[in-house]
Structure 1
Amino acid sequence: MRITHLGHACLLVESAGTRLLIDPGTFADDLTGVRDLDAVLVTHQHPDHLDLDRVPALLGANPRALVLADPGSVEALAGAGIEAQGHDGPTRVGEVTVTPVGEVHALIHDDVPRIPNVGVRLDADGEPSLFHPGDALDADPGPVDVLAFPLQAPWARSRDMTAFLRRHAAPHAVPVHDGLLQPRGRALYLGQAGQLGSPDTRIHDLAGAGATEFRAGE
């Protein structure tokens, strides 16, 4: 499996010859060069996870890509003239099984209505498993090899982030949802993730690192 962090919550995952893009939002990097996608996966409809202005061009450059999304994003995409498939249990995309995990976005504030949020677990024979939670920390994907974890968010405290890492204790973890952080703050949160998260987890900061390989059993 190769993972490229394309800014904030957006990950390009290449597994078993299948290319999947997760959460192409407004804080993601330039996506014009992203090609040969088998699927675009959207966890929820917030703009930092779903950029309705850029998605049409992204899909135009990837005409065979399946769009798989939570119920709220399916509706939002339909309003933009884009057909998306809602989750109905595990979905096979190439050699990868995409399993939906979770239902509701984390609480931001009592005055802000909660929306659907569906994290995604990715599995393929001979490849590491990965879980991207979107904007929630309460879902249970089961044991995974690589855990994408929100580094900072208006809806989470740092102790929630480190508790999430401890609860899952994955061998590897990749920080996402970092688009609101300036460098000093980002370093602080990364330090907390490493020092106060799970001792069994290795943190891989993929920001600016390009495609990074993960192997099953390592």
Structure 2
Amino acid sequence: MKITKLGHCCLLIEESRLKILTDPGMFSTSQNEMKSIDVILVTHEHQDHLHMDSLKAVLRNNLKAKVITNRGVGKLLEKEGIGYELLEDKQGKTISGILLEGFGEKHATIYQDFGQVVNTGYRIASRFFYPGDAFYNPGKPVEILALPVAGPWLKLEEAIDYATLLKPKVCFSVHDGMLKFIGPTHKVLHTFLPTVGIEFRDAVKDIELVF
């Protein structure tokens, strides 16, 4: 599996011959020019995860790409005339021999009900888990974790505790597009995650990670 971090939570995941793009949001633009995308996974409707102009650009360049998401995002896509397939909590779908699974229902709390939307995390090929904006435990083994590390809905302490709970072999940071400097955050993760047996890999914009 090869994962290229395009920025924030926009990832290009290549598994076998399948190319999956996650969350084409407002913190990255390189996805707009990409070709040969098979699947676009959208975890929820906030603009740092779903920028409609970006999604439309991706679809123009990838006419056969399938958008897979939840009912909350689906309502917005319907208004734009964009087709999609549902994949929600505890549901599975196999595409080109690769199993995609959905987990979770709600975005993590920001404050009271502010910004509360449907959020679906996605597990890919029984190896990789990207939870979107939530610390949801899929209840299945996670080898590779995309770990949210910053934002109005989390503390870094919670991120470390979440990784410790899931016990992946390796993780890398996502949801960090609002950070001016990522170094201090990475330093904390490099300090503590190895003590519980988790390898942490630096993930900055346009870096490729091979697993």
Normalization by structure 1: what TM-score? Answer: 0.90
* CA distance, structure 2, for counterparts of residue 141 and residue 4 of structure 1: 26
Tell me, which stretches of 5 or more residues in structure 2 are unaligned?
Answer: none
Secondary structure class of the residue paired with 1:20: strand
> What do you get for the CA RMSD once the two structures are aligned?
1.5
Moved over 3 A (4+): none
* CA distance, structure 2, for counterparts of residue 161 and residue 29 of structure 1: 26
Q: Which amino acid aligns with 1:205?
A: D
The yes-or-no answer on 1:108 pairing with 2:110 is yes
Q: Which has the higher helix share?
A: 2
Equivalence for 1:4: 4
Relative to structure 1, is the Cα distance of residues 111 and 144 closer, same or farther in structure 2, using a 3 angstrom cutoff? closer
Secondary structure class of the residue paired with 1:54: helix
Equivalence for 1:20: 20
Deviation at 1:17, TM superposition (A): 1.0
Equivalence for 1:137: 135
Residues 32-54 of structure 1: CA deviation (Å, up to 9, x unaligned): 33111110000000000001012
Q: Which amino acid aligns with 2:116?
A: R
Residues 89-121 of structure 1: CA deviation (Å, up to 9, x unaligned): 201121211100111000000141521000000
Deviation at 1:208, TM superposition (A): 3.7
- Aligned residue pairs, count: 208
Deviation at 1:18, TM superposition (A): 0.5
The yes-or-no answer on 1:206 pairing with 2:203 is yes
Task: Indicate conservation of the 8 Å contact 2:98/2:125, yes or no.
Answer: yes
Deviation at 1:209, TM superposition (A): 5.2
Task: Indicate conservation of the 8 Å contact 1:101/1:141, yes or no.
Answer: no
* CA distance, structure 1, for counterparts of residue 12 and residue 72 of structure 2: 22
* CA distance, structure 2, for counterparts of residue 149 and residue 10 of structure 1: 13
Q: How does 1:82-161 map to 2 (within 5 A)?
A: 82-87=82-87, 89-112=91-114, 114-123=116-125, 129-161=127-159
Normalization by structure 2: what TM-score? Answer: 0.93
